[in-house]
Amino acid sequence: MRRDVKGLGAAAPTGKADGLPAVVFLDVDGVLHSVRATRLAQQFARAQMQQLLRVINETGALIVLSTAWRTIPEARMVVHEKLREWRLPAPVGKTPDYGMARRPLEILTWVEQHRPHAWIAIDDMPLDVDPHMRGHFVKTNPMLGLTPVAASECINMLKSQMERG
């Protein structure tokens, strides 16, 4: 069964996969560091990167960039380099860019096109305003980023989806 996604012109998948494993749609600001981090030395903070590493290691998920950093080649290269430094896998893709406040639609479009077995979005913005994001979204505190509690929620959400298979 598939549900219509408003504005997508397509239907949202209901969980049947075409072979892709679990995917994490990753925001950067407010997830991998505080939104107040302005210098590179403050960004990609150790505590938050360790939690992302935990999520990826415990679920085997791949990373797809949904962050605004994906839209600027130089910024995207910084993200790739920081992930590599932490021995995290390089992102397998990035969501399309539909402009401000359209992130849920960007993520749902990617999901429809690639149909991962399980997926979550980690973001400090309230993506669950779109009902299709519910059960697939972990909201971080923009000042704290990815905490151990939020990382556990990510892991549990992905594992629950994978078990339903």
The average pLDDT across 108-124 equals 97
Sheet holding 22-26, edge to edge: 93-94, 62-65, 22-26, 118-123, 137-139
Return the pLDDT at 151: 98
Q: Is the pLDDT of residue 13 over 80?
A: no
Return the pLDDT at 66: 98
Q: Is the pLDDT of residue 155 over 90?
A: yes
DSSP-derived 3-state class of residue 105: helix
- Measure the N-to-C terminal CA separation of the chain; round to a whole number of Å: 14
Q: Is the pLDDT of residue 77 over 60?
A: yes
Return the pLDDT at 158: 97
pTM reported for the whole predicted model: 0.88
Say what percent of the chain tops pLDDT 90: 82
The average pLDDT across 6-34 equals 70
Spatial distance between the Cα atoms of 158 and 2, rounded to a whole number of angstroms: 20
The average pLDDT across 46-50 equals 98
Average pLDDT of the chain to the nearest whole number: 89
2-12 per-position pLDDT tens digit: 333 333 333 33
Beta strands in the chain (DSSP E): 3-5, 10-12, 22-26, 62-65, 93-94, 118-123, 137-139
What domains are defined for the chain? 22-164 (3.40.50.1000)
Name every residue whose Cβ is closer than 8 Å to that of residue 93 and which is 6 or more positions away in sequence: 64, 65, 110, 114
**128-132: Cβ within 8 A, 24+ apart:** 129/104, 130/104, 130/105, 132/3, 132/5, 132/12, 132/104, 132/108
